[in-house]
Amino acid sequence: MRGNAFEAKVKGDGGTELLRLLHERMGEGAEPPGQAPTPDLAAAGPEGRAARTALALREATEAGGWALLDHPMLALEVAGSPAYLEPDAVVVHPDGRWTVVEIKSFPMIDAAADPSKVGAAARQSAVYVLALERVAVLTKGASVDHSVLLVCPRDFSNLPTASVVDVRKQLAVTRRQLTRLSRIEDIADELPPGTTFDLDGQSGASLATAVEAVPAVYAPECLAACELAFHCRGRAREQGTVTALGRSLRGELGSLTTVEEVLAAARGESGDPADPTVAAVRRAAALRAEAGAPCH
Amino acid sequence: MSLIATLARLEAVESGRAQPLATVRHRHLSERPLVFVPLTTAGEAGAPLGALVGTDRNAPTLLVVPQPRDRDLRFTFLADLAEAVLPYLDAYAADIELTERSETDPETGKKTKVEVELCADAPQLIVPGRAGVDFVRLLGRSMRFRRTAEQDPDAPYPAPPRVPLLGRWFTHYAERARTPGAALLLAATDLLNRHWATGQSSLEDQHLGALLAWIDPPAGEPGAEAALRAELARGADGQLLCPPAGPATDPAFDNRLLAPAVERYDRARQALQAAEDGLAADDRLGQLTAAEREIRRLLAAQLMPTWSAVWRALDLLRELPEGDRAAARWTSDRWSFTGHRDRITAGEPPQPRRDDAVTAATKLLRRERAQAELEAGEALDDPLVMAGRRLSGEAFAGEVVEVTPAWSESKRPSPRPLLTLRTDDAPHLAEGAKVYRSLDGKPQKAEFVAYEPGGALVLRVLDKMGRAKDPAPGSVPEKGDRICWTLFEHEQRGAPKLPDPEATPWTHGGPPGAATAEQPDAPTPEDLL
Ligand code: SF4
């Protein structure tokens, strides 16, 4: 795939090209890196690699020069359990700043890339920044950049170009989401004893039952992000949940949460007319009918 | 989404069929649109793989790049695309009518009428979805700075003759597509979504097959089931029955069918190059042709369902009568087409990579204006759209229960009749607020005077009643008339004037340099486009 080939190209030759781009965009007067050390991060298991990464970061920061960490391993606590993350690269500046580098294969045409893809890259990088900060607080003289370097192919070529992406907003969002997550143990406590999601050793039906046992809050955005989306969508539709049609419907329809409830309220069959949402859907239904839309 | 549209979605869920969001068609459709269904190569962001293009639903032209990494093959594709598209555009460019336009004389500042050409109709490009619009923009960008051998004899990889011109047109069409309500380049999914609400989310509505399944499900089948089939169902060969509408392809297609076919093609090509005598070469040429034919067959099978779906979408849309103001907006599209035609004939260089400050600001203002005009126009053309504006308090419909003649207090009194209206709507009216109704297609203005104790409201009519002391016949509503008034204006007034490009302040980049042609992109060994 071109994506991997592109990353290899960007990092080739000891990362000189990558460091040159980074220095050009976020060097802030420091000496150009030229060749920089690329510490060996190999270790056994993710825990070992994360420890090795933390050590390499500390050493590079103490050394006070440039360093390029290729595929470092970072740990972040998510819902009470450690998750291991592997950014494309982290660069240590001579002043002790650490910058996350994200290498993507979508093109930057005339210095602008597809905003939705840049947004996704920014959200992803924000998680790395967050994980790096856990290491930085334990490292003297270190700080983590709240901007990341996004490296993409330039125009229609396979040559790299870069732009600096400010991820402060994504950081705030991610921080908030992480604190709001229910702890995995709490979710597990709710499940019937013996529930397992092991793919081997149980029938499809019992696996389905196991999955059903976990509460899910499906929204259409799941379709692009989660392999269970069609399953959860089917369930949400069966239950007639309005948010299966879009998250925004929850705000719009307030206390009316199912398709049936909303339509019954709209037809005047149920619902308290004093409830502003009920009044609004009735009014909307009346206007719609008056305008010639077929009613049932 | 307005609550009315939300209700329509919920009703679609219940009934298993999409529900109308409009009673008229809000976009002009050409009698003879050009449909363009492109595909790109997985992992080679933007490299074209193939396309169906044409104006005859029964005879699309199939264009294929058998090896997308090969620059020559891509150039052949682009050259063929230019041959498929440009004659279609040229035919419209040649058919003109003369009309008058007022222009300001730069010396005297006086407005004068000048006779100008306006193309009698404009070519219309339809792609399956929004990603198709983006791909037209990308193709436009990649082609418009290229140099042909004639323009630059030293160009290392000269582009085929008409390719840069196609790039300029694609760029123009993609740029025009950013203007709200414009119809030169349209996505079938956008068209359908404007006119119907399905029982799924707007994200799922981007899938042309699923969208059509809700709007026009096979007899007796609920929309949700038909849509699910369009999304997921695979044949015995593991391939999707309804392939994605592109430009991205399905990975199962890429890996299982396309990749082996391209590999066979590559091998056949190498074998041909290695052939030592004429006889062997003939034989291997035959193998190469067969390998290419197989790729064409595979791509045609991926593209045909989408091709048919786009035409089916157009059929469904044609069943709706076109809105009056949609037809009027099409005139702006004709101007846009004519203007670009003139820039090309005048020998202007291709559109720059980035707009200068004045051009960018002008475009933004025009788009904001177009947005306001579109919102007003759709509401005035369509009671179902107006219902949404009434619900939000931006319009109201009511019955005239009393008309009280009154006049302005001036030396030559003009009619200023008072109307008392009863309405169930709840408009957000402040005292003195202006409201408008459509009188023979022109807006008539009134102002809000007060609410009466019983809840009726009083308006004072302000214009369109003629010059005489008494209002012209038919210009004042009568008792019993039911009229819809809007709080928004029906037409946009002249846009605020921006400085001439020469007077751009330095804070905005200063006056642009001479309009010179930009340099082409330097070719590299691994280009995608
Ligand atoms: S689709 Fe995935 S993310 Fe969405 S609710 Fe289901 S399990 Fe959760």
* Segment A266-292, tens digit of pLDDT: 999 998 989 999 999 999 999 999 987
Q: Of the residues A218, A235, A243, which should be mutated to test ligand 1's pocket, given the most ligand atoms within 8 Å of the CB?
A: A218
Give the per-residue pLDDT at B501.
Answer: 57
Torsion of CA B243, B248, B254, B255, to 10 degrees: -110
Boundary (domain end) residue, out of A123, A156, A180: A180
CA pair distance A293, A283, nearest whole angstrom: 14
Chain B touched by A243 (CB under 8 Å): no
Q: Using DSSP, how many helices (H) and how many strands (E) does chain B show?
A: 13, 15
Residues of chain A with Cβ-Cβ distance to B199 below 8 Å are: 245
Is pLDDT above 50 for A295? no
- Candidates B261, B312, B378; CA nearest to B26 is B378
Does the distance separating the beta carbons of A259 and B10 come in below 8 Å? yes
Evaluate whether residue A150 is within a structural domain.
Answer: yes
Say which residues have a Cβ less than 8 Å from residue B409's Cβ, sequence separation at least 6.
none
pLDDT digits (tens, 9 = 90+) for A74-130: 999 988 889 999 999 999 999 999 999 999 989 999 989 999 999 999 999 999 999
Evaluate whether residue A188 is within a structural domain.
Answer: no
Does the distance separating the beta carbons of A283 and B7 come in below 8 Å? no
Cβ-based neighbour number of residue A234 at 10 Å: 14
pLDDT digits (tens, 9 = 90+) for A17-59: 999 999 999 987 778 887 888 999 999 999 999 999 999 999 9
Residues of chain A with Cβ-Cβ distance to B526 below 8 Å are: 157-158
For ligand 1, atom 7, name the residue with the nearest CA: A228
Torsion of CA B311, B314, B315, B318, to 10 degrees: -160
Torsion of CA B496, B499, B501, B507, to 10 degrees: -110
Specify the ligand 1 atom closest to the Cα of A232.
Answer: 6
A216 CA from centroid of ligand 1 (Å):
6
Give the predicted TM-score (pTM) of the model: 0.91
Q: Mind giving me the DSSP string for A189-254? A: HHSPTT----STTS-HHHHHHHHHHS-----GGGGGT-TTHHHHHHHHHHTTBGGGG-THHHHHHT
Angle between helices B188-195 and B208-215 (to 10 degrees): 30
Does the distance separating the beta carbons of A220 and B1 come in below 8 Å? no
Specify the ligand 1 atom closest to the Cα of A218.
Answer: 5
CA pair distance B63, B61, nearest whole angstrom: 6
Domain limits for position A265: 196-290
Q: Mind giving me the DSSP string for B125-158? A: EEESSHHHHHHHHHHHHHHHT--BTTT-TT-SSP
Give the per-residue pLDDT at B506.
Answer: 62
Would you say the CB of residue A222 lies under 6 angstroms from ligand 1? yes
Q: How far is B526 from chain A (nearest CA, A)?
A: 6
Q: Which residue has the tokens 């063929």?
A: B80
The C-alpha angle with vertex B465 and arms to B461 and B467, in degrees rounded to 5, equals 130
Banded pLDDT at A296 (limits 50, 70, 90): very low
CA pair distance B498, A149, nearest whole angstrom: 37
Same structural domain for residues A36 and A168?
yes
Same structural domain for residues A225 and A134?
no
Evaluate whether residue A266 is within a structural domain.
Answer: yes
Does the distance separating the beta carbons of A288 and B7 come in below 8 Å? yes
Q: Which of A156, A260, A285 sits opposite B528 (nearest CB)?
A: A156
Cis peptide, bond prior to residue B350, ω within 30 of zero: no
Same structural domain for residues A19 and A148?
yes
CA pair distance B178, B169, nearest whole angstrom: 15
Give the per-residue pLDDT at A154.
Answer: 92
Cβ-based neighbour number of residue B330 at 10 Å: 22
Token pair for B320? 């709706």
CA pair distance B487, B176, nearest whole angstrom: 29
Q: Which residue of A has its CA nearest to B231?
A: A230
Say which residues have a Cβ less than 8 Å from residue B512's Cβ, sequence separation at least 6.
B356, B358, B501, B504
Same structural domain for residues A7 and A149?
yes
Say which residues have a Cβ less than 8 Å from residue A16's Cβ, sequence separation at least 6.
A33, A34, A35
Residue B470 to residues B373, B385, B479: CA-CA distances in angstroms?
A: 33, 35, 17
Instruction: List, in sequence order, every residue forming a beta bridge with A166; answer none if it has no partner.
Output: A147
CA pair distance B450, B461, nearest whole angstrom: 13
Does the distance separating the beta carbons of A283 and B45 come in below 8 Å? no
Same structural domain for residues A68 and A153?
yes
Residues of chain A with Cβ-Cβ distance to B3 below 8 Å are: 252, 280-281, 284
CA A253 to chain CA centroid, nearest Å: 28
Chain B touched by A232 (CB under 8 Å): no
CA pair distance A212, B447, nearest whole angstrom: 60
Same structural domain for residues A247 and A161?
no
Does the distance separating the beta carbons of B14 and A259 come in below 8 Å? yes
Same structural domain for residues A276 and A223?
yes
| pLDDT values of chain B reduced to their tens digit, one per residue, 529 residues | 689 999 999 999 999 999 999 999 999 999 999 999 999 998 776 789 999 999 999 999 999 999 998 989 999 999 999 999 999 999 999 999 998 877 777 777 788 888 889 999 999 999 999 999 999 999 999 999 988 888 888 888 888 889 999 999 999 999 999 999 999 999 999 999 999 999 999 999 999 999 999 999 988 899 999 999 999 999 999 999 999 998 999 999 999 999 999 999 999 999 998 888 888 888 899 999 999 999 999 999 999 999 999 999 999 999 999 999 999 999 999 999 999 999 999 988 999 998 888 888 889 999 999 999 999 999 999 999 999 999 999 999 999 999 999 998 888 889 999 999 999 999 999 888 999 999 988 999 999 999 998 889 999 999 999 888 889 999 999 999 999 999 999 988 765 565 565 666 666 666 555 556 688 888 777 777 7
Q: Which residue of A has its CA nearest to B47?
A: A156
Domains of chain B: 3-247+302-351 (no CATH), 384-486 (2.40.30)
Q: Mind giving me the DSSP string for B191-211? A: HHHHHEE-SS-TTGGG-HHHH
Question: For chain A, how far is it from start to end, CA to CA, in angstroms?
Answer: 53
B33 CA from centroid of ligand 1 (Å):
41
The C-alpha angle with vertex B429 and arms to B423 and B435, in degrees rounded to 5, equals 80
ipTM greater than 0.90: no
The C-alpha angle with vertex B410 and arms to B408 and B411, in degrees rounded to 5, equals 135
Same structural domain for residues A257 and A147?
no
CA pair distance B152, B148, nearest whole angstrom: 6
Torsion of CA A43, A47, A51, A57, to 10 degrees: 90
Does the distance separating the beta carbons of B202 and A224 come in below 8 Å? no
Do B39 and B249 form a contact (C-beta atoms < 8 A)? yes
DSSP H/E element including B467: none
CA pair distance A68, A53, nearest whole angstrom: 11
Does the distance separating the beta carbons of A109 and B6 come in below 8 Å? no
Same structural domain for residues A169 and A237?
no
Give the per-residue pLDDT at A5.
Answer: 83
CA pair distance B8, B15, nearest whole angstrom: 10
Same structural domain for residues A24 and A66?
yes
Residue B67 to residues A1, A6, A150, B48, B268: CA-CA distances in angstroms?
A: 15, 19, 30, 10, 12
Same structural domain for residues A133 and A239?
no
Q: Are strands A147-153 and B61-64 parallel, antiparallel or unpaired?
A: unpaired
Boundary (domain end) residue, out of A153, A180, A207: A180
> What amino acid occupies position B529?
L
Q: How many CA atoms does the CB half-sphere of B158 hold within 13 Å?
A: 11
Do B192 and B16 form a contact (C-beta atoms < 8 A)? no
CA pair distance A21, A27, nearest whole angstrom: 9
Same structural domain for residues A135 and A161?
yes
Residues of chain A with Cβ-Cβ distance to B231 below 8 Å are: 230
Chain B touched by A1 (CB under 8 Å): yes
Specify the ligand 1 atom closest to the Cα of A222.
Answer: 4
Q: How far is B19 from chain A (nearest CA, A)?
A: 8
Q: How far is A166 from chain B (nearest CA, A)?
A: 23
Does the distance separating the beta carbons of A293 and B19 come in below 8 Å? yes
In the DSSP assignment, the letter for residue B496 is P
Q: Of the residues A226, A231, A233, A239, which should be mutated to test ligand 1's pocket, given the most ligand atoms within 8 Å of the CB?
A: A226
Does the distance separating the beta carbons of A237 and B384 come in below 8 Å? no
Q: Of the residues A182, A232, A237, A247, which should be mutated to test ligand 1's pocket, given the most ligand atoms within 8 Å of the CB?
A: A232
Q: How many structural domains are present in chain A?
A: 2
User: What is the CATH classification number for the domain harbouring A31?
Assistant: 3.90.320
Token pair for B212? 């059509």
Give the per-residue pLDDT at B503.
Answer: 61
Evaluate whether residue A278 is within a structural domain.
Answer: yes
Boundary (domain end) residue, out of A123, A148, A180: A180
Give the per-residue pLDDT at B60.
Answer: 97
Q: Which of A157, A284, A290 sits opposite B7 (nearest CB)?
A: A284
